[in-house]
């Protein structure tokens, strides 16, 4: 497991930092477009296209191949605690293109924001047990 202080989640209000695995990476990072289009037809059949720029809302699904983006149960518990803070915003720092990228996010609670599956099933989990995780965020304006 590759873990260091480069991939992390920081609460913007409290400064609390949760260190994540550097193997976590935004799945489908090229699937989202900053430009959104809407089409409709005029009465004469002419197509009308309206375009605008999205200001926020890009989804970030942080995932890694099984066994590579594992986090401890203690880290998963800390993430769940931060997720459950109403109105909390975060800086998400992650490695991409040879640099650390930073985006302002909230947990995407419209679906399952945190998926955590134990690497090894046990009847009595320990805080040091490892979990394969998927984290879902939504980008928000950074101003």
Task: Give residues with Cβ within 8 angstroms of 5, minimum separation 6.
Answer: 19
Query: Which pTM does this prediction carry?
Result: 0.84
**HEC states along 66-91?**
CCCCEEEHHHHHHHHHHHCCCCCCEE
What is the band of 3 on the pLDDT scale with cuts at 50, 70, 90? very low
Q: For 77-122, what is each residue's pLDDT tens digit?
A: 999 999 999 999 999 999 988 899 999 999 999 989 999 999 988 8
pLDDT for the residue 121:
87
In the chain, the DSSP E strands lie at 3-11, 17-21, 25-27, 35-41, 47-53, 59-63, 70-72, 90-96, 99-107, 114-118, 130-139
Give the range of the structural domain holding residue 98, as residue numbers without chain letter. 3-139
How many domains is the chain built from? 1
């Amino acid at each position: 497991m590759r873990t260091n202080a480069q991939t992390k989640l920081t609460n913007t209000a409290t400064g609390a930092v949760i260190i994540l695995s550097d193997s976590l990476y935004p799945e489908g990072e090229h699937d989202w477009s900053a430009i959104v289009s809407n089409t409709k037809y005029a009465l004469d059949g002419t197509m009308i296209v309206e375009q605008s720029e999205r200001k926020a809302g890009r989804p970030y699904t942080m995932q890694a191949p099984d066994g590579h983006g594992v986090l401890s149960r203690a880290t998963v518990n800390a993430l769940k605690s931060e997720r459950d803070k109403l109105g909390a915003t975060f800086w998400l720092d992650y490695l991409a293109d040879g640099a650390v990228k930073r985006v302002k996010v909230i947990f995407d609670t419209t679906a399952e924001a945190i998926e955590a599956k134990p690497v090894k099933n046990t009847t009595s989990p320990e805080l040091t047990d490892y979990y394969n995780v998927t984290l879902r965020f939504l980008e928000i304006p950074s101003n």
